[in-house]
Structure formats: C-alpha cells, structure tokens
C-alpha cells in the first residue's frame, strides 16, 4: 500500500518537502498553523521564492495529490509518515533555539494520531531534543496506536531546494526500529536507487550531523573572512589566496568566497544554538570558537559601512544604491541577511538608502519599511553617490560600469561579494573597493 505522507510546518523546508514528496508519487498533506499560508499553498501559490518549486506546487495541487490543512485531527487520522518541519528560530535575547514550535507541533500531532505511524523530525534541533520528544510522544499518544519517532535532518540549500530534496547527497536517519527505517527507505526509494548514501545512526548523532555541517560551513566562511581582514591591512588579494589554498583537495575552494559573510535562517542561529546547547552540557569552552566565527562574520558588515564612510566622507544626506538584500542569490529570504543589515546600518547612520533586489523586496520591506525600495535596478542607481553590491544575483555579477554611468551621481562602488572584475571598473575611472583587497593591491593583482 502506498504511504501517505504529512508535512507539519510548510515554510521554506516543509513546502519544498511536501511538493517533492508529491513529485515522487506520494499522496501528501501539508499542515501549517498559519491559515493564510495554507490558503495560498492550497491555491497553488508559493508564498516565497524558490526556483522550480511553483511548478511542482501547481502541478500537484491541481491533481489533488498534494493538499494542505490546518487540522491536526485530519493529519493525525490520515498520515502514515509525518515529517516535522516547523521552525527553530533563535530565542529572543538568547542564543538558544526556541523549541516552542517543535514541541507544540509534536504534541498536537502525537495526540491526534489514530493509527500506527512514524514521526520523522526534519527541523534542526539541539542535541537531546529527539530523545526528549520520544518521551513526549509516549506521554500524549493514544495507547491503542504505535507511534515511533526518528530524526532525519535536512541539508537542502535555499535556491537549490527542489534539486537537493529530490537528489540529496546523503540521507541521515537517527533512531527507529528496523521496520521504521525500512519504511523510511520506501519514502526515499527514488534517491536510494541512485546510490545515495543512507546513513543510519542514533538520534543524537543525527541531530549533531546537521549542526556540525552548518558549524563547519560557517567556520570556513569566517576563516577566509578573517584572512580578508589581514590582507586589507597587510596587502594581498584574498581571491588569489582563496584560489591558491582551495586547489589543495583537503581544503577545497567552495565556501571560501570572502565577502560580507553568511546569513539566512540557518547558519547564524544554528551556530548560536549549538554553543548554547553545548554550554548546557557543561562544555563551556568546547564551541567557544564559534563565537569568534560569529563575530568575524558580523565585523564584515561593519567593514562595508566603514568603507562607505571612507568613500563618502560622511553618510548623512548621501544617496547609496544597495544592490541585493536577500541573504544569498536565488532566494527571497532576508532572515539575518548581511545585505539587509548593512542597508539598515547605512540608513541609521543618516544615508538615503535605495534598495533593489530581484525577489526579496517584499520580505525586506516587511522588516525595514523605512528604507527606500526602488522599482528597478536603474531606479535604485539613479542619482546615487555610491553603489554597493551585497547579494550576488546574476544580474549584478554581470554588471559593467557603462550600465551605471548614465544613472549614478558618482562613480564609486563597493563590491561586497568580490564578484566584479576590479580592473574593468578602475580602468573606467571608478573608485572600486572590495573586501579583502586594498584598492592598490586590486590593481596589482588584477594586472598579473
Ligand atoms: P519557516 O519559518 O520558513 O517555516 C516554519 C513553518 O512552520 C511556518 O510556516 C510556521 O507557520 C509553521 N509552524 C510553526 N508552528 C507550527 C505548528 N505548531 N504546527 C504547524 N506548523 C507550524 O522555517 P524553515 O526555513 O522552513 O525552517 C524549518 C526548520 O528546518 C528549521 O529548524 C530550520 O533550521 C530547518 N532547515 C531549514 C532549511 C532552509 O533552507 N530553510 C534547511 C535545512 C533545515
């Protein structure tokens, strides 16, 4: 018999997982406590930007294979495998993760399950959560049904979420009886047929794999950004340095792009939650390096504001065009976005900030309504004294000076992502600044 799948929490992760499970042929019911989201998704409208996902949503809501609800009663009675994909944001005023949503979702679901079923956690959680939830499930589930809880962390990247869900590079499953793991193998049969590694382990390892991966990636970015600070002071070109060390296969070139740093709904809060959790375990020093990783990352934002001040003399009353506010290209996510943070810092320092982003305008406006949101890139650039590139959308990385010259007031640009060719700009008489390269070293290295 075909498995019926529910996905609890239909945000970036859950909506993607639900639509991809439908694409794999399963009947899927997505559940969210936000009725507006459920209404939109039911109508085949994706409330966020994710390439390839609108098509899957439309396709499967039309056939009825994919439905959405706010009812735990319906989900609990219907599903065989329930994925938990609700948020685990940072707590206000604390580094720890806010587990309210996971706890509420698990309690409501378990209490409403009326047939034998699996609960499979996908949210990123502090180690120890799954074992605690097992007890919670035991205490609220009906005694007439057998409900097992496993953990199956998610590694998808926003911008590539459909690809990563349909063809993940690995699957990690923590806990579960042999039968439960076999059921999960049926869910992932398509990926397994492509020889995707399927790693079964205990609950704690599964939880830790996810946060360890994110901590490693954050560290790699801050590592190169720390060297960017050095080259800014000592001379040198961070891109050449990254290329050269990246050729060492033990190091690898990916995640070594110096720039304004990492952000989004995962890396920043995950490294903070990991520190908080490890401190709770009495290991205060163990993850302390991650607070340095965090600080290096946040200092890069200050560096952009410092460069802007250096170029403009003062920010008050000066017009700055900010290109990009999403935390990364191909996403409209502005959670902890370095770009939006820089824009807000410039605004708070008195600058007249005009923003353009191909997809993230609405989300950014909802967070910082007082910034100017331009209708087009040209509108953002018109009359600006300084242009700052902060998200590497393709339409920005392919910019050439001639495109801007008829619009801007002054030929000054900060490349906050190190994606433009410095020589092209400086040869046209632009003041060109970037992160990790002094302007004079830019000239030397780019002419080699
Ligand atoms: P999100 O905020 O986009 O979505 C969370 C959803 O859960 C929201 O729609 C919210 O309304 C819903 N929700 C909250 N409480 C609920 C409840 N009790 N019952 C049902 N629905 C409820 O968050 P996200 O980015 O999708 O992240 C979800 C989890 O996945 C987090 O733990 C995150 O760390 C992890 N994760 C996210 C990504 C990513 O790229 N976004 C990747 C891997 C892992």
Interval 156-186: pLDDT, tens? 999 999 999 999 999 999 999 999 999 999 9
Ligand 1 mutation target, pool 7, 13, 363, most atoms within 8 A of CB: 13
- pLDDT average, residue stretch 380-385: 98
Neighbours of 70 (CB within 10 A): 14
Instruction: Give the closest residue to 158 by CA, choosing from 265, 24, 31.
Output: 265
Residue 437: predicted pLDDT:
83
341 confidence band (pLDDT: 50, 70, 90): very high
Name which residue sits closest to atom 12 of ligand 1, judged by CA.
9
pLDDT at 445 over 70: no
Task: Quick: pLDDT tens for 95-153.
Answer: 999 999 999 999 999 999 999 999 999 999 999 999 999 999 999 999 999 999 999 99
The set of catalytic residues is 266
Ligand 1 mutation target, pool 32, 86, 130, 211, most atoms within 8 A of CB: 86
Within 6 A (CB) of ligand 1 lie 8-14, 31-34, 37, 85-88, 101, 104-105, 123-124, 154, 156, 158, 265-266
Task: Quick: pLDDT tens for 82-103.
Answer: 999 999 999 999 999 999 999 9
Name which residue sits closest to atom 40 of ligand 1, judged by CA.
158
Class of domain 213-447: alpha beta
pLDDT at 417 over 50: yes
Ligand 1 mutation target, pool 6, 8, 11, most atoms within 8 A of CB: 11
Name which residue sits closest to atom 19 of ligand 1, judged by CA.
105
Name which residue sits closest to atom 11 of ligand 1, judged by CA.
34
- Domain segments of the chain as ranges: 4-200, 213-447
Find the helix packing angle between 203-234 and 129-140, rounded to 10°: 150
Which pTM value belongs to this model?
0.95
Work out the mean pLDDT of the chain and round it to a whole number.
Answer: 96
Fold match, 4-200 / 213-447: yes
DSSP-assigned beta bridge partners for residue 199:
172
**Distances 363 to 57, 157, 223, 374 between C-alpha atoms, Å:** 21, 19, 30, 14
Residue 446: predicted pLDDT:
43
Instruction: Give CATH superfamily name and number for 4-200.
Output: NAD(P)-binding Rossmann-like Domain (3.40.50.720)
The length of the chain is: 448
pLDDT at 16 over 80: yes
């Amino acid at each position: 018999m075909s498995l019926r799948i529910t996905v609890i929490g239909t945000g970036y992760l859950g909506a993607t997982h639900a639509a991809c499970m439908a694409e794999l042929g399963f009947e899927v019911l997505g559940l969210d406590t936000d009725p507006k989201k459920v209404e939109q998704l039911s109508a085949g409208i994706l409330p966020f930007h994710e390439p390839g996902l609108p098509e899957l949503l439309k396709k499967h809501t039309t056939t009825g294979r994919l439905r959405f609800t706010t009812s735990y009663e319906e989900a609990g009675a219907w599903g065989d495998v329930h994925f938990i994909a609700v948020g685990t944001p940072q707590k206000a005023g604390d580094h720890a993760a806010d587990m309210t949503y996971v706890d509420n979702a698990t309690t409501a679901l378990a209490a409403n399950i009326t047939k034998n079923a699996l609960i499979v956690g996908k949210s990123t959680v502090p180690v120890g959560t799954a074992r605690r939830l097992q007890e919670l499930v035991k205490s609220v589930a009906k005694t007439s049904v057998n409900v097992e809880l496993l953990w199956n962390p998610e590694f998808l990247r926003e911008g590539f979420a459909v690809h990563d869900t349909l063809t993940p590079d690995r699957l990690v499953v923590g806990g579960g009886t042999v039968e439960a793991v076999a059921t999960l193998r049926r869910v992932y049969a398509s990926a397994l047929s492509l020889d995707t590694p399927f790693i079964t382990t205990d609950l704690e390892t599964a939880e830790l794999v996810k946060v360890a991966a994110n901590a490693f990636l954050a560290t790699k970015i801050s590592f190169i950004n720390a060297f960017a600070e050095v080259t800014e002071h000592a001379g040198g070109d961070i891109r050449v340095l990254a290329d050269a060390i990246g050729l060492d296969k033990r190091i690898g070139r990916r995640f070594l792009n110096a720039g304004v740093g990492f952000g989004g709904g995962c890396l920043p809060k995950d490294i903070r939650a990991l520190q908080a959790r490890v401190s709770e375990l009495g290991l205060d020093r163990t993850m302390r390096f991650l607070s340095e990783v965090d600080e290096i990352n946040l200092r890069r934002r200050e560096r952009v504001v410092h460069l802007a001040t250096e170029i403009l003399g003062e920010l008050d009353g000066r017009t700055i065009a900010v290109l990009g506010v999403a935390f990364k290209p191909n996403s409209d996510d502005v959670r902890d976005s370095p770009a939006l943070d820089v824009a807000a810092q410039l605004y708070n320092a008195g600058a007249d900030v005009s923003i353009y982003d191909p997809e993230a305008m609405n989300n950014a406006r909802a967070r910082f309504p007082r910034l100017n949101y331009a209708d087009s890139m040209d509108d953002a650039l018109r009359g600006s004294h300084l242009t700052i590139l902060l998200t590497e959308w393709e339409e920005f990385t392919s910019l050439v000076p001639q495109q801007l010259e008829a619009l801007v007031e002054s030929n000054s640009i900060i490349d906050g992502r190190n994606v433009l060719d410095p020589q092209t700009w400086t040869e046209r008489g632009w003041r060109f600044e970037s992160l990790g390269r002094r302007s004079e070293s830019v000239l030397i290295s780019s002419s080699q």
